[in-house]
Structure 1
Amino acid sequence: MNTSAAAPINQLVDPYKKTPIRAYPLESFSSANARIDDARTAQQRWQHLPIAQRRELFLNALRYIEHNLDGYASRISDEMFKPLRQARGELEAGLGKLRRIADMAEGALHDTTVAANGQPFAYTMRRVAKGLIYTIAPWNYPFFTALNSIGPALLAGNAVVLKHASTPSVGELFERAFNTMGGISGLCQHLSIDIPTSNRVILESAIDHVVFTGSVAGGAAMAQLVGQRASNLTLREPFLQTSLELGGSDAAYVAADADPVKAAQMLISVGRLHNSGQSCCATKRLFLHQQIAPAFLVEARALMEKQVPGSPHDPATTMGPLFGGPRAVEGLMAMVTDAVAAGATVLSGGKVVEKDGYSFILPTLITGVNLQMKIMREEAFGPILPVMVVANDDDALAHINHALFGLTTSVFTDNAALQDRVIDTARSGTVFINWCNDVHAEVAWSGWGHSGNGMPALSDLGFEALTRTQSIVRALA
């Protein structure tokens, strides 16, 4: 008689229709830890390959993703309701970013000769792989967010273990693409574990760095766990560094000299409504100069009212359901109701509709807001945009840092002096000039304040964050 207990099951359920999406077994801590040990063994071989060879193998591995784009795009749509066209676009754009990251690797990881300044020594500094990187990725951009650490980590000579519980198909995609390269197996593994098991991994397992993208509360929990780990001096690496990229309530200012129609097209279609507004770096607080406000609001309202909510598998859909289900819809409506009760005006949307078995909050434009309203202080993770009209640049600059988040700030102006003032004023990791809601491999990506701990991803600094510095000091004869 077999008395062994069956593995627990994680069941993904559609929060609207209460129907199952996908079930998969959860691993125990001992199983996850064994795979972590396998990854460490693989990493010891991988790190000794020349950078050029790792790059070539990495680029070859991208072919698996290229050949399976449509299938994984469909599964992403099933798991987090992103419209199918947008899911495929995320995979395609992510492939381009991974290629650019690979092109940067040799330059970012080369040894650096340091001037001796008359000392009788030769100085060199080199980048050495940390070892095993633990990436915990979110559901909203499941491929995009995870690749920001997985790409640089592998190219730098690390191995990776990934937790992607809400969109497990993306975890499987990374594992199938990158787990075996150059005949070395175990380099990139997706762990099917729950939160308590993940916490034990951080506290007890032989990992060397944690990358977490998610909520502010989740980031605080990561920091507490890493602090607890530091008391366990039996571990080889008790003092973990973390890369935390958390929420955002990003501000944008459209100045008097901006083209209001072009600015609206960028800020509404890309800045606020892409991915149904479920983006950490989406524009969530908008300041308009009074001279261009009327024209901007006319265009913004038209763009919002053109959106087509519906099933993520309907080609006509431009706005899929919110991942969080009815609770997420209710939370956003509560923000709108709170603002209206305090004197704000709903210019567009502001109501819930039912379609294809889903609930949608229509894209919502709110004017007459003030800084005390929740909608101007807290993160609104969905298609609602509060707008404050200001009399001048000084008023806008006085308000852009009002929220506690610091992911991005945007300004739309051709005035170089004003651009510089915004750059100097903004407390955020990225400042966009006539642009918004985007992530570039070539420059560092980091969150300040409640948006993260400032540890950079991407760019040369992203490689630096996932490696250690080793200094070589040679005495000269």
Structure 2
Amino acid sequence: MSNLTRSEWETMAASLSINGKAWINGKYTDAESGETFDCQSPVDGRHLASIASCDSADVNKAVSVARNTFESGEWSELSPVRRKKTLQAFAALMEENAQELALLETLDMGKPISESLNDDITGSVNSIRWCAEAIDKLYDEVAPTENDVLGLVTREPVGVVAAVVPWNFPLNMACWKLGPALAAGNSVILKPSEKSPLTAIRIAELAEQAGLPKGVLQVLPGFGHTAGKALALHNDVDCIAFTGSTAVAKQLQVYAGESNMKRVWLEAGGKSPQIVFADCENLDKAASVAAMAIGYNQGEVCTAASRLLVERSIYDEFMELVKHYMHDWHPGHPLDPQTSSGAIVDQIQTTRVLDYIESGKQGGARLTFGGRQVMQETGGFYIEPTVFEGVDNTMAIAREEIFGPVLSAIAFDTEEEAVQIANDTIYGLAAALWTDNLGRAHRVSKRLRAGSVFVNNYHGGDMTVPFGGFKQSGNGRDKSLHAFDKYTELKTTWVALS
């Protein structure tokens, strides 16, 4: 936890040197085309940097370097304990530069500086450190065969991994993928979102300082339809790991099929339900968490609990509590350490959120809290936390991922109805329920079709448990030892002993 004031963060920001170049084969470089795009801060609209706009030429170069590095064995055949030490050094350097990384994250994406520092950067460091520590604890297998044969089951790195990550948690989502992929011995090409590429560019240099060989980690900033598409179609990329929208996730599967059938691991969208039953005794806590679950990170969270299902007998009382706590998530200046909610990432996303708010009003829902763009005099992008009531689960605001601080409240009468409404979605990333009935907690959590189910909390978990979704929220899992399954191949070696 930093003790810096807003003024001190602003002074640091004024003197910050920002690099916008790609990192290929161990050095910063311009895009082959020389093309760049502007990186502007959603905090106040200021120009932060000109970013290298990588395309297929840069992808071809980076993939060739990654393949050669992988085949050389310099990293892929290094002992797990030696890879562990290098990644631990990488994590330590990220920790030493935590303030700079947090500042880059806030200026680039708009989230509060306290969140960037204490959640995102801390979580990123922990991801690398945890996976580094795990890699020499993963044992291979000896199959229970007949006595005259030996069946060995071993893990090998998959090869060249393309990691395509989103703009809402830029470094944290990158490290969820870099940790297991690098620890397992792969060469990784990281493609950050064009909306928030700065921390990805910065950590490439830190990785080299930690001792990662050239070509093991490369960073290609650029757009999804250029650099991202080229990576997905490249015949020498063995695996693509993606976090982002469901629409893009589907397209990546098509590209993989059109090219080399590369492994495709997807963490996509969500429209997560949070169910509050009348037998929940601590409604005040539940309401506070309900507000947090849509206000945190400006609602730009794939697991945001954007559908609030409340038992009718407590509905009015509970919604008053929720709206009381929504005041805690009014946006403020992101460099103020007391700010809990910051800026929307850019004008495009701001317009998208405001359009959904208008859709809710036009569609018959009741806007009962917030719903306005504020702080426009700053030059940045800020939207009040927003509550709609009288929502039907068929409305667009209840079915489509908004990715902003917009909550749709729905009343229900029975447990069966609550489960039906909760599961009536194409998504299945997260869900939650609040109850003091132990039987109901187990019964309902088992029936909810989601990769993560929270009981009497929201956003719980750490690196020890897997994260990912059901249905069109994706496949595969980040975090935990299960993440290594995405970046390794299983090989059976059958040895005749007689």
Tell me, in whole angstroms, the C-alpha distance in 1 between the residues paired with 2:171 and 2:45: 25
Q: Separation in 2 of the partners of 1:156 and 1:16?
A: 38
Aligned residue among 481, 495, 498 for 1:460: 481
Report runs of 4+ in structure 1 exceeding 6 Å deviation.
Answer: none
Task: Please say if residues 59 and 230 of structure 2, whose CA atoms lie closer than 8 Å, have aligned partners that are also in contact.
Answer: no
Q: Identify unmatched segments of 5+ residues in structure 1.
A: 230-237
* TM-score normalised per structure 2: 0.86
**What is the rounded CA distance, in whole Å, between the counterparts of 1:121 and 1:39 in structure 2?**
37
Q: Secondary structure at the match of 1:184?
A: coil
Deviation for aligned residue 1:41: 2.9
* Counterpart in the other structure of 2:243: 213
Farther off after superposition, 62-71 or 9-18: 9-18
Once structures 1 and 2 are overlaid, which stretch shifts more, 460-469 or 256-265?
A: 256-265
**Contact 1:33 1:205 (8 Å CA) reproduced:** no
Structure 1 146/439 Cα, relative in aligned 2: closer, same or farther at 3 Å?
farther
Shift of 1:354: 3.1
The letter for the 2-side match of 1:204 is H
* 1:366 Cα deviation from its structure 2 partner: 1.7
Q: CA RMSD in A?
A: 2.2
SS of structure 2 residue aligned to 1:273: helix
Identity among equivalent positions (%) equals 25
Residue identity matched to 1:298: E
Aligned to 1:389, the other structure's residue is in SS state: strand
Distance 1:292 1:103 in 2: 47
**Cα offsets for 1:230-283 (capped at 9, x unmatched):** xxxxxxxx22011111111011111222221111222212x1111011000110
Amino acid at match of 1:35: A
Q: Per-residue deviation at 1:439? A: 5.2
Give the 3 Å change call, closer, same or farther, for CA 170–188 of structure 1 in structure 2: same
Structure 2 residue 69 is matched with structure 1 residue 42: yes
Q: Which amino acid aligns with 2:149?
A: F
Q: Distance in 2 between matches of 1:273 and 1:14?
A: 20
Q: Which moved more, 1:310-319 or 1:152-161?
A: 310-319
Deviations 1:387-409 (A, max 9, x none): 11212212211110112111111
Question: Quick one: distance in 1 between partners of 2:166 and 2:228?
Answer: 14
Per-residue deviation at 1:29? 3.2
* Per-residue deviation, 1:16: 8.6
Give the structure 2 partner of residue 331 of structure 1.
Answer: 352
For 1:34, give the aligned amino acid: K
Equivalent in the alignment of 2:25: none
CA positional deviation for 1:359? 4.3
- Partner residue in 1 for 2:144: 115
| Inter-CA distance 156–367: structure 2 relative to 1 (3 Å threshold) | same
* CA contact 1:261–1:295 (8 Å) conserved in 2: no
Letter in 2 for 1:167: S
SS in 2 for 1:283: coil
From 88, 92, 97, the equivalent of 1:59 is 88
Q: How does 1:199-238 map to 2 (within 5 A)?
A: 199-229=229-259, 238=260
Alignment match, 1:176: 205
Q: Specify the alignment match of 2:6 in structure 1.
A: none
Counterpart of 2:383 in structure 1: which amino acid? I
Q: Structure 1: how far apart are the matches of 2:221 and 2:371?
A: 38
Could you tell me how far apart the structure 1 residues matched to 2:385 and 2:207 are?
Answer: 39
Aligned length: 460
Partner SS, residue 306 of structure 2: strand
Q: Which residue of 2 aligns with 1:273?
A: 295
- For 1:416 and 1:110, locate their aligned partners in 2 and report how far apart those are by CA, in whole Å: 37
Q: Could you tell me how far apart the structure 2 residues matched to 1:11 and 1:336 are? A: 28
Match of 2:439 in 1: 417
- 1:158 pairs, out of 143, 163, 186, with 186
8 Å Cα contact 1:311-1:317 kept in structure 2? yes
Structure 1 distance, partners of 2:227, 2:395, is 38
Could you tell me which amino acid in structure 2 is paired with residue 386 of structure 1? S
Q: Is it true that 1:95 corresponds to 2:125 in the alignment? A: yes
* Higher mean displacement: 83-92 or 132-141: 83-92
Shift of 1:20: 2.4
10-19 or 413-422, which deviates more: 10-19
Amino acid aligned to 2:463: A
Deviations 1:280-324 (A, max 9, x none): 011011111234333432221111123342332233432212113
Q: Quote the residue 2:169 is aligned against.
A: 141
1:377: Cα distance to partner?
0.8
Q: 1:179 to 1:159 in 2, by over 3 A?
A: farther
